[in-house]
């Protein structure tokens, strides 16, 4: 049995976290997620001989941090599309509005880093038929927005309601609870079409969750925050899978002491209550586990291309 794993990082600018918690953002300087988090992930991947995927939203980049973007490409990693402005309301836009977000982002990434995007992840894990239609028509070969975790969606809904109760209006929202009940294996989006050619060579690569139908997420935040026994249990539970897709965020490799801009978030953002040493240790533990279990780490564009080729043969 061929076992494949992927480690991918959503590079969301810090303003997105302020928006989630309904806070006003006033930066004191360079975004610390770009200044610290991305570089540490690059070092972790290099140390382990892994090529990963970075989902980029171009609106957070400027002349002062473009070197980070170029470094991702130079070190052999994939850059994928995460929309231009990381607008949580993306799926509520018109089809043309969605297209502008995606084409503006991909054009920026091609111009500034020479990156040809082949994949997409939606802000907030929200997806819609119009969104899928647009990214397929733009030549992308995969989407990785599906997050099959009823537990996560319930917690997210409660958090949004709690913030509203205390006068903080979160920019985050849930487009469809139906997304919480998706599959955890790679699949074609057009489930009703038997002819592979008619799918437009396009697959969904869901993020890994465990203990269906609860759907405990195996993502950066949970890997950092869960007690050691629970993380060990989840890793052992997952080793029979053929495909592991680990999603992280740039902030997952930041320390609260990196910047004063983290101070308003420290009591609200779970991963910021843990130190950098623990974060590095947990990510290394997870990488070591899957390597020892015979998994090969690959970029998501490589996995998507292989899955499409496999399904064409079936």
pLDDT band at 30 (very low <50, low <70, confident <90, very high): confident
Which of the following CATH numbers is that of domain 4-313: 3.20.20.370, 3.40.50.150, 3.90.1170.20, 3.90.550.10? 3.20.20.370
User: Cα(17)–Cα(30) distance, rounded to whole angstroms?
Assistant: 15
Per-residue pLDDT at 73 exceeds 80: yes
pLDDT in tens, 37-56: 999 999 999 999 999 999 99
Instruction: Give the torsion through C-alpha atoms of 184, 188, 193, 197, to 10 deg.
Output: -160
Residue 52: name the closest of 169, 220, 233 by CA: 220
**At a CB cut-off of 8 Å and minimum separation 6, what does 211 contact?**
237
> What mean pLDDT do residues 154-170 have?
61
Q: Whole-prediction pTM value?
A: 0.91
pLDDT in tens, 248-302: 999 999 999 999 999 999 988 888 999 999 999 999 999 999 999 999 999 999 9
Residue 170: name the closest of 271, 269, 274 by CA: 269
Q: Which long-range contacts (CB under 8 A, 24 or more apart) does 256-261 make?
A: 258/32, 258/35, 258/36, 259/28, 259/29, 259/32, 259/35, 259/36, 260/28, 261/14, 261/27, 261/28, 261/29, 261/31, 261/32
Give me the residue spans of the domains in the chain: 4-313
Q: What percent of the chain has pLDDT over 90?
A: 63
In degrees and rounded to multiples of 5, residue 8 shows phi and psi of -130, 150
User: Cα(191)–Cα(198) distance, rounded to whole angstroms?
Assistant: 11
pLDDT at 168: 63
User: In the chain, what is the greatest distance between 2 CA atoms, to the nearest angstrom?
Assistant: 55
User: Cα(247)–Cα(52) distance, rounded to whole angstroms?
Assistant: 10
* Cα dist from 214 to 8, 131, 154, 182, 273, whole Å: 23, 26, 10, 12, 25
> What mean pLDDT do residues 166-184 have?
64
């Amino acid at each position: 049995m061929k076992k494949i794993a992927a480690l991918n990082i959503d590079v969301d600018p810090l303003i997105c976290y302020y928006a989630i918690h309904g806070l006003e953002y006033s930066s004191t300087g360079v975004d610390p997620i770009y200044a610290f988090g991305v570089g540490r992930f690059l070092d972790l991947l290099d140390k382990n001989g892994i090529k990963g995927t970075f989902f980029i939203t171009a609106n957070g980049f400027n002349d002062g941090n473009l070197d980070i973007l170029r470094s991702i490409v130079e070190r052999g990693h994939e850059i994928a599309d995460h929309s231009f402005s990381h607008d949580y309301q993306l799926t509520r836009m018109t089809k043309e509005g969605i297209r502008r977000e995606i084409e503006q982002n991909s054009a920026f990434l091609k111009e500034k880093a020479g990156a040809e995007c082949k994949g997409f992840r939606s802000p907030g894990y929200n997806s819609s038929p119009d969104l899928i239609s647009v990214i397929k028509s733009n030549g992308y070969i995969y989407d990785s927005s599906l997050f099959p975790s009823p537990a996560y969606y319930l917690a997210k809904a409660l958090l949004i309601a709690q913030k509203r109760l205390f006068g903080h209006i979160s920019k985050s929202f849930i487009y469809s609870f139906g997304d919480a009940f998706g599959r955890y294996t790679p699949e074609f989006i057009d489930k009703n079409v038997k002819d592979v050619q008619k799918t437009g060579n396009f697959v969904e690569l869901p993020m890994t969750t465990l203990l269906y139908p609860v759907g405990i997420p195996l993502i950066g935040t949970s890997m950092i925050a869960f007690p050691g026994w629970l993380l060990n249990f989840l890793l052992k539970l997952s080793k029979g899978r053929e495909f592991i897709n680990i999603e992280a965020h740039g902030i997952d490799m930041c320390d609260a002491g990196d910047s004063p801009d983290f101070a308003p978030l420290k009591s609200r953002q779970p991963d910021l209550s843990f130190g950098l040493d623990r974060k590095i240790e947990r990510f290394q533990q997870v990488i070591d586990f899957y390597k020892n279990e015979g998994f090969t780490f690959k970029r998501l564009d490589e996995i998507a291309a292989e899955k499409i080729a496999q399904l064409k043969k079936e």
